[in-house]
Structure 1
Amino acid sequence: MRSFTLLLLSLVLLGPLGIDLYLPTLPQIAAGLDTPIASIQSTIPLFLLVMGLGQIVAGPLVDNFGRKPLALIGLALYAVGSIVAATAAWWPMFLVARIIQGCAVCCTAVVAFSGVRDRLSGDDAARAYGFLNGALNIVPALAPMLGGFLAEAFGWRANFWFLTGYAVFITLIVVLWLPETRPADTQRVASLPLRQYAAILREPRFLAFAFANAGALGMVLTYVSLAPHVLMSTGGLSALQFSVAFGANGLWIMLVSVLVNKIIRKVGRPFCLAAGCLTMLSGCILLSAGEHLLPGSWQTHWALYMIPVAVSVAGLAFTVGPATSYALEPYQQQAGVASALQGCIQMAGGAAGGLLFMALPLTEKTALAGMMLLGSLLAFIAWRCSRKMRGTLTAL
């Protein structure tokens, strides 16, 4: 089962690699395509938006045609998008490439999380989801440095050639070793299953856990979006120091995720949801207290931002695994549809929440503290919902 989970991880990594690898090269891409850097930066939320909304379409396809075929389609699209980005001569061509990559990732993400639901349930599924989400944080830790080295040696286009090679390599692995896990009794749908989506959305249990994931992800997206300005422009860190701080935080989340996998086995999922609520609330309090109670001369120090962030992002590790397993547990015969809807809410909802707080007339730290508070509230609602449940539900 461990090798199967690692196979699914190789698919999930396509998403964060598509974002973090080229972060250090945004100015070079803008100069190379003769376009404002703001245009290149806009491809990050666009990528996430396409990735989130596209899962609504990918979910039914996974249930109708199987996990493995759609994984191969997603990998092929990812390779094509990476080649288009690597050879882009002007801004619209690069934009199209990022849209293609977003469509590809929505396919592979649904396949990965459906695969976990096909083979595992209960606490085992929670540990697998937690491992997948926690292991993703090694990408923010290492990918920016790798992207910077590749760009320095071969130019910014080398990052997208690297993504092309990764997609081809994973395609070979999927063809040779990824089994088809779709259950024989999976419900097929003739078209976009609006009725099935509506039925799932009427379940308060599903919404509670899906929005808990959205809150945790939105908190992390807000931190990532604001970190360059807070730490470099205001805090005075160099690009190398920023990369070290950014990478250390990614490794921290991964270590907490390993701990959470052990905690789930001993004390269960409700405890982890409560811990996620408390860590995000603690981060909010620390960040707000540092901004409003400490002297102004201290406000630019990196520790006043990164220490509360480190406390709060632990909430992501505590929340995502248990919440995802609770949300998808009743849908064994609709795993693709339910995974797609959960992924859409998590990705699009988290991005929307982060964008909303960043658009408000607030300081960067206040905006992040607000998103931390919202994430804590949504995790609290999920914890309350989990306390009302008894036993392990494997089918509905």
Structure 2
Amino acid sequence: MRKLLLLLLLLVLLGPLGIDLYLPVIPHIAQGLNTQESLIQSTIPLFILVMGVGQLITGPLVDYFGRRPLALAGVLLYGLGAIMAAVAESSAMFVGSRVLQGMAVCCTTVALFSCVRDRLNGDEAARAFSFLNGTLNIVPALAPLAGGLMAAAFGWRAPFWALAAYAFLVLLLIALGLPETRPTGTRRALGLPLATYWQIVSKRRFLVFSLVNTGAMAMALTYVSLSSQVLMGDAGLSSLQFSFAFGANGFWIMFVSWIANRIIRKAGRPICLTIGTLLMAIGGLLLTASVTMSPLAWQAQWWSYMLPVAAACAGLAFLMGPAASYALEPYANQAGVASALNGFVQMGGAAAISLAFIALPIPPRISLALVMLLGGLFAITARYQVYLISQLSSRRVR
């Protein structure tokens, strides 16, 4: 099982690498392609949106063809998309490369979530999801700095050549080591299973727990999208200082995810959800207070932004593993379709929420605080759903 999780970790890293590696060089990309910086910046939520919507298509494919073929196809597309970005001579070509890479991550994400659901259940599945979600935060911890250093030495195209090299290394390792985990009883059908999608999403349990991860992902996406504006623009950090602040938060999430994994093992998923709910709400309240109640001199300091972010990101680490396992648990024979729908709700919903709040004519810190509070509200609803599940289980035992 450990070998499988390590291979799945290689797949899960493709998503954040596709975002964080080029964050510090966005101005250089815009300059190199003679386009507006806002257009290049918009490729971040576009990447997430394609990831989310595309999973509705890749979900049935991963059940029909299997986890391994979709994972291989996704990694191959990802490498081709990276090469396309590296050789882009126009903004249209660059945007197209991001769409292609978003489609690629649709395949790998559904495949890896389905693999976990195939092999694990309950607290074990929650711990696996928590491990994957936590460990991938080494990417925002190190990737911006690495991308900036590569661009400084070899130009803005270098990070994308690095992504291509990583993709083809992963392709080789997945081809040699990833087993097919699809159960023999999996329902297989080509085409969009709209009736099945509706049957799953209409279940209160699935929707409530999927929205938890939507709120958490929306918080992370809003933070990533606004961080350069707040930390470098408002707080006056240099690009190197920004990379260190951004990276430190990534290591913080890794550490908290390790703690969350231990708490799941010893106390179970409900306790983890409770802690995550409190931390997400605390982050939103702290950030709101820092804007509305603190002196202007404090608001210009980087820590007045990053401390509430750290609280909310700790909440994310506690929430995402248990929420994903609760959402997918009832769908052993529809793991691909259920994982795809969960990814669509999570990614598509997060992108929509993030874009909506960023577009509001309010300060960026308030935008992020509101998204944090919304994430806390989703988590509170999920915690109540856990209570209802436990009550129903008790009645059945009687």
**TM bracket, shorter-chain basis:** over 0.9
Residues 53-111 of structure 1: per-residue CA shift (max 9 Å, x gap): 00000000000000001111111111111111111111111111111111101000101
Task: Give the Å deviation of 1:361.
Answer: 2.0
Q: Displacement of 1:313 after TM fit?
A: 1.0
Judge conservation of contact 2:288–2:366 (CA < 8 Å) in 1. Answer: yes
Query: Over aligned residues, Cα RMSD in angstroms?
Result: 1.2
Cα displacement (A) at 1:121: 0.3
Q: What are structure 2's unaligned runs of at least 5 residues? A: none
1:56 matched to which residue of 2? 56
Distance 2:175 2:303 in 1: 46
Q: Deviations over 1:159-186 (max 9, x none)?
A: 1111111111111101111000000110
Q: Does the 8 Å contact 2:111/2:336 carry over to 1?
A: yes
| Distance (Å, rounded) in 2 between the aligned partners of 1:244 and 1:323 | 30
Cα deviations by residue, 1:26-79 (Å, 9 ceiling, x for unpaired): 111111111111111111111111111000000000000000011111111111
The worse-fitting range, judged by mean Cα deviation, of 251-260 and 294-303 is 294-303
- Give the aligned residue type for 2:197: Y
Which residue is equivalent to 2:284?
284
**Which residue is equivalent to 1:307?**
307
1:247-306, Cα deviation, whole Å (9 max, x unpaired): 000110111001000000111111111111110111112112222222222210111111
Q: Which moved more, 1:193-202 or 1:90-99?
A: 90-99
CA–CA distance in 2 between the matches of 1:221 and 1:58?
Answer: 23
Superposition pairs of residues 208-223 of structure 1, within 5 angstroms: 208-223=208-223
Match of 1:249 in 2: 249
Which amino acid counterpart does residue 359 of structure 2 have in structure 1? A
The equivalent of 1:349 in structure 2 is 349
The letter of the residue matching 1:168 is: F
SS of the counterpart of 1:389? Answer: helix
Q: What is the CA distance between 1:374 and its match in structure 2?
A: 0.4
Choose 346-355 or 327-336, whichever is displaced more. Answer: 346-355
Q: What does 1:40-189 align with in structure 2 at a 5 Å threshold? A: 40-189=40-189
Deviates more, 1:34-43 or 1:11-20: 34-43
Q: What's the offset of the Cα at 1:189?
A: 1.4
Q: TM-score, normalised by structure 1?
A: 0.97
Q: Counterpart of 2:304 in structure 1: which amino acid? A: L
8 Å CA contact 2:45–2:355 kept in 1: the answer is: no
Tell whether 2:371 aligns with 1:368: no
1:4-23 maps to which residues of 2 (within 5 A)? Answer: 4-23=4-23
Alignment check: 8 A CA contact 2:257 2:317 kept: yes
Look up the equivalent residue of 1:140 and give its one-letter code: P
Structure-1 residue corresponding to 2:323: 323
Q: CA deviation at 1:362?
A: 1.6
Deviation (angstroms), 1:25: 1.1
CA contact (8 A) 2:61 2:190 kept: no
Residue 196 (structure 1) aligns with: 196
| Paired letter, 1:348 | G
Measured in 1, the distance between the counterparts of 2:218 and 2:4 equals 29
In structure 2, distance between residues paired with 1:292 and 1:78: 43
Greater CA deviation, 158-167 or 255-264?
158-167
Give, in whole Å, the separation in 2 of the partners of 1:27 and 1:231.
16
Q: Answer whether contact 2:63 2:336 (CA < 8 A) is retained.
A: yes
Inter-partner Cα distance in structure 1 for 2:166 and 2:317: 26
SS of corresponding position for 2:166? helix
Contact in 1 for aligned 2:277/2:379 (Cα 8 Å) = yes
Superposed CA offset, 1:91-138 (max 9, x none) = 111111111111101000101110000000000000000111111111
Question: Secondary structure at the residue paired with 2:389?
Answer: coil
> For 1:361, what is the secondary structure of its paired residue?
coil
Q: Secondary structure at the match of 1:212?
A: helix
What is residue 207 of structure 2 aligned with on the other side?
A: 207
Instruction: Render the CA deviation track for 1:293-334: whole Å, top value 9, x for unaligned.
Output: 222222101111111111111110111000000000000100
Structure 1 unpaired stretches of 5+: none
Size of the aligned set, in residue pairs, is 392
Aligned amino acid, residue 372 of structure 1: M
**Contact conserved, 2:197 with 2:337, CA < 8 A, in 1?**
yes
Residues 205-252 of structure 1: per-residue CA shift (max 9 Å, x gap): 000000011001111111111111111111111111111111000110
Q: Which amino acid aligns with 1:98?
A: R
Report deviation, 1:190: 3.1
What displacement does 1:356 show?
Answer: 1.5
1:375 aligned partner, one-letter code = G
Tell me the distance in 1 between the aligned counterparts of 2:110 and 2:174. 15
Mapped to 2, the partners of 1:380 and 1:362 lie a distance apart of 26
1:182 is paired with a residue whose SS is coil
Q: 1:359 deviation in Å?
A: 1.5
- Ranges of 4+ aligned residues in structure 1 off by more than 6 Å: none
